Amino acid sequence: MNRIFNIILSLFAASATVFANTSLSVETEKKDSVDIVASDSVVLNQDSAIISKIDTVAKATVDSAPAFQYQTEVSPSKRGPKDSMMYFSWRADGPLGLPVREYADSTLDKLYIANMADKNTLRYADHSSLGSPGISLIYADRIKKSDFFFFTPYEANYTSPDDILYYNTRKPYSKFWFIGAGPSNRSDQCVGGLFTVNAGSKFNFGMYGDWVNSYGAYESSSTRNCNAGFFGSYMGLRSNLMMSIGFAKFENYESGGFLDESYITSPERYGNPADESIPVYFTGNTFSKLHGYNMHLNYKYHLGFEKEYEVSKDSVIVDYVPVTSFIADMRYESDWKRYTEKSSNSFHDTFYNASAETRKFMPKSTMDSVLFRQFKGNFGVTLNEEFNKLMKFGLGGYFTVSSKTYHYADGLQFDYRDAGNEFIAENELKEVELEDGIAYIDSVGYRGRPNWNKNKNTKMGVGAVLSKHSGKHLFFNVIGEYYFVDEKQTGTSYLLKGDVNTKFEIGKQPVSLGGKVELKNECPDYFEDHYYSNYFNWDNDFDNKRSLSIDGLFEMPKIGFSAKIGYYNIDNHIYFNEQAMPVQTSDAVNVFYLGAEEKLKFGIFHWDNGIAYQTTSDKYIMPLPTFVFNSNVYLRTPPIFKKSLTFQVGAELNYHTSFYAQKYNPATGMLYVQREKEYGDYPLLNVYGQAQLKVLKMFMVWNHVNQRMGNNSNYMISPGYAMSPSFLRVGISVTFDD
């Protein structure tokens, strides 16, 4: 492992990054013309680099120029291959909200994949319904999007402020889609849309939303999810504003998993029952709800000067060059989670190894809820790299502060059985007989009055940013944060991360080589230390978690090849043990990752392959499949009928090796370890067809077509949960950008 670690460090020293950023910079020298750099992820040339005046328009007329004019956007003919002629898009990145060029997905490549989580990783394990709780089987793809602890199983389907794309449009841009699947009594439905429009050359407003209503193929597996919100931006010469407001709702029935996995692995034993009739632990009376609200506001004020650029003999462009920027980046988040059992039965007792006597709040039902609120602000100043002629980099410093508030019940204020007869009569308490005697419950079902706890943590520190996004070959970004006050008042929390990228050519092949490193020391989450509920309670005092991650990337885009390498060291790792309780290990856990993708093309024949290799130093604490594989073979016609129609038909194979997949705990929503059985070693085959006719896209996919093929029917993906059975899904998407 030390040898592997040294190899990775050498790759990083040779300069590497997963963020393949290419700069669109304002050159301070003479320019005859300005070209756009065709790159999938491009750091914008400062928010305020907008053409403020065009004295003589020449070839790029005012009518054809976009409303939001960066230097690279003078002429539509010079746009990159992925640019729409109608809009320009970016997202806010990092602690100070740096605008990073990002393209909206407009290809056919993953149209047939309905589940958002499946689009961002090679293999995702959920409970078979759209938007159900799950986790990526690739450790490198697990991204934290919210500071709310109980968001963990939903994060892959959550739209956070960092995911918001901001637009500047010439004309209104909109996109709408619908997806449907399955029989009428167990159908999946997903509908969504995006709309954005400019009001003048600087102000843009938009809204988005996607709604999922999935009944699920199995009993008690329904989900109802929603991501929706508003966004807007004002990109003036001196003042820039980006703002988003988002709403999220995740609601799913909890089944507890199958009572007997043999219904899947050996269905002939039970007469091949229908999927929805396979018995589960909880039937229709147990569900989880998570509702979230977030707001992000980023404001910048620039000080600088105007500079003229000669486009032609009779054309001059005046650009504003920012020297210093004052920045305020603020976020607010409010989240609420509830786990509910309308009534309990023997299956609940068996699953949780509990009884009416051992439940803390409610003997006959359960209603656990927690509330989380957070405000976070970064306030800083930056010296922009365009003005620094001697040393081409940008430098910024900021003050960071966050306040987190937790609300939860931490026990009973008093037990109703200690109350007098008068109190029992006045409150109409019901008498229940338990093994340890008579108890009383109120109309809600509580056996006593809950004591609600409110805990507030404040975190303060300072940060610095060193970056270079201009030039042709070398780009980097380094961020450091030190907290002199953290959640546990220890003042030892810190964050140091950086990425570097270089671009060059081998022969005539463009190559991107890069990498990133992150060193982090952070307090455990409050709910990892303290939690109280009907079934579970713990009171810990865990040490700070420490982690080191190193990633490298090598890309040759012309031949469709990319390779990634990663090393992750997690010290004082907190995980949930076989009793579904959080514990901390003093031994460091190491994960090594190696992945590659290759997109082959021979005329209309395409073959896309992705493979990942992972190894972990502790397969019990950090269980991961050793190999994950995805292969997509398809035929795609060139545009026909006046280049307006494209067809694609293909087959996709997904596979991962067996491993000790974690169990799912419905009461907390957390995954916990088990060593009883391995899951995996099953190929999942999907067959699909899709087409694009100008603004219209459509697809049809037969998922899990191999369910009844051969002798292997072991398509369990985790303890108690199986992959979706064979079914047909169709979808349609319409885009209006002209």
> Could you report the per-residue pLDDT of 594-630, keeping only the tens digit for each?
999 999 999 999 999 999 999 999 999 999 999 999 9
Q: Say which residue the tokens 């907008």 belong to.
A: 50
Q: What local confidence, expressed as pLDDT, does residue 389 receive?
A: 62
Rounded Cα–Cα distance for residues 557 and 115 (Å)? 26
Rounded Cα–Cα distance for residues 109 and 697 (Å)? 11
Q: In 3D, which of 108, 1, 41, 84 has the Cα closest to residue 555?
A: 41
Rounded Cα–Cα distance for residues 5 and 2 (Å)? 5
**pLDDT for 495 beyond 90:** yes
Q: Say which residue the tokens 């486009």 belong to.
A: 311
**Element holding 6 (H helix, E strand):** helix 2-13
* More reliable by pLDDT, 640 or 405: 405
Residues 6 or more apart from 150 whose CB is under 8 A from it? 290, 335, 337, 370, 372, 527, 668, 669
* CB 566, CB 549: distance < 8 Å: yes
**pLDDT for 395 beyond 70:** yes
Mean local confidence (pLDDT), 155-184: 91
pLDDT grade, residue 50 (50/70/90)? very low
pLDDT grade, residue 516 (50/70/90)? very high
Q: In 3D, which of 718, 719, 673 has the Cα closest to residue 578?
A: 673
Mean local confidence (pLDDT), 475-503: 93
Rounded Cα–Cα distance for residues 225 and 248 (Å)? 8
Q: In 3D, which of 598, 653, 596, 593 has the Cα closest to residue 626?
A: 593
pLDDT grade, residue 490 (50/70/90)? confident
Mean local confidence (pLDDT), 312-327: 81
**Element holding 262 (H helix, E strand):** helix 262-265
Q: What are phi and psi of 138, to 5 degrees?
A: -105, 115
Rounded Cα–Cα distance for residues 258 and 281 (Å)? 6
Six token digits for residue 425: 């009569």
Q: What local confidence, expressed as pLDDT, does residue 22 receive?
A: 28
pTM of the model: 0.86
Rounded Cα–Cα distance for residues 696 and 737 (Å)? 12
| Cα torsion angle, 652, 653, 656, 658, sign | positive
Mean local confidence (pLDDT), 111-119: 89
**pLDDT for 99 beyond 50:** yes
List the CATH code of the domain at 2-238+257-736.
Answer: 2.40.170.20
Amino acid at the residue 234: Y
Q: What are phi and psi of 545, to 5 degrees?
A: -90, 135
Mean local confidence (pLDDT), 436-443: 86
Residues 6 or more apart from 109 whose CB is under 8 A from it? none
**What are 337's strand-pairing partners?**
290, 370
Q: Say which residue the tokens 């520190």 belong to.
A: 461
* More reliable by pLDDT, 19 or 410: 410
| DSSP string across 187-225 | -EEEEEEEEEEEETTTEEEEEEEEEEEE--SSTT--EEE
**pLDDT for 71 beyond 80:** no
**pLDDT for 337 beyond 70:** yes
Q: What local confidence, expressed as pLDDT, does residue 386 receive?
A: 66
Q: What local confidence, expressed as pLDDT, does residue 621 receive?
A: 95
Cα dihedral 613, 618, 621, 626, rounded to 10, equals: 20
Residues 6 or more apart from 642 whose CB is under 8 A from it? none
Six token digits for residue 593: 């990752």
pLDDT grade, residue 38 (50/70/90)? very low
**Element holding 111 (H helix, E strand):** none
Amino acid at the residue 400: T
Q: What local confidence, expressed as pLDDT, does residue 391 receive?
A: 62
Mean local confidence (pLDDT), 657-683: 96
Mean local confidence (pLDDT), 22-40: 29
Q: Please, what's the largest Cα pairwise distance for the chain? A: 97
Count of CB atoms within 10 A of residue 675's CB? 10
Q: In 3D, which of 152, 220, 287 has the Cα closest to residue 721?
A: 220
**pLDDT for 589 beyond 50:** yes
**Element holding 12 (H helix, E strand):** helix 2-13
Q: What are phi and psi of 493, to 5 degrees?
A: -80, 140
Q: What local confidence, expressed as pLDDT, does residue 390 receive?
A: 62
pLDDT grade, residue 25 (50/70/90)? very low
Rounded Cα–Cα distance for residues 597 and 559 (Å)? 11
pLDDT grade, residue 29 (50/70/90)? very low
Q: Can you give the length of the chain in residues?
A: 738
| Cα torsion angle, 339, 345, 348, 354, sign | positive
Q: What local confidence, expressed as pLDDT, does residue 388 receive?
A: 60
Q: In 3D, which of 709, 661, 663, 702 has the Cα closest to residue 681?
A: 661
Q: What local confidence, expressed as pLDDT, does residue 181 receive?
A: 87
Q: SS3 string of 553-598? A: EEEEHHHCEEEEEEEEEEECCEEECCCCCEEECCCCEEEEEEEEEE
Q: In 3D, which of 272, 255, 249 has the Cα closest to residue 126?
A: 255
Six token digits for residue 460: 């303060």
Output DSSP code: residue 9.
Answer: H
Rounded Cα–Cα distance for residues 572 and 544 (Å)? 7
Six token digits for residue 658: 């067996």
Q: In 3D, which of 668, 552, 530, 732 has the Cα closest to residue 8?
A: 552
Amino acid at the residue 363: P
Rounded Cα–Cα distance for residues 45 and 9 (Å)? 31
Average pLDDT, the chain: 85
* More reliable by pLDDT, 364 or 59: 364
Six token digits for residue 31: 């320019």
* CB 466, CB 394: distance < 8 Å: yes
Q: In 3D, which of 511, 503, 572 has the Cα closest to residue 543?
A: 572
Output DSSP code: residue 643.
Answer: T
CA distances to 308, 313, 317, 378 from 56, rounded to whole Å, are 12, 10, 8, 41
| DSSP string across 398-451 | EEEEEEEEEEEEEEEEEEGGGS-HHHHHHTTPEEEEETTEEEEE-SS--SEEEE
Residues 6 or more apart from 507 whose CB is under 8 A from it? none
Mean local confidence (pLDDT), 138-166: 94
Rounded Cα–Cα distance for residues 151 and 669 (Å)? 9
Residues 6 or more apart from 434 whose CB is under 8 A from it? 356, 357, 363
Q: What local confidence, expressed as pLDDT, does residue 5 receive?
A: 36
* CB 216, CB 222: distance < 8 Å: yes
* More reliable by pLDDT, 708 or 556: 556
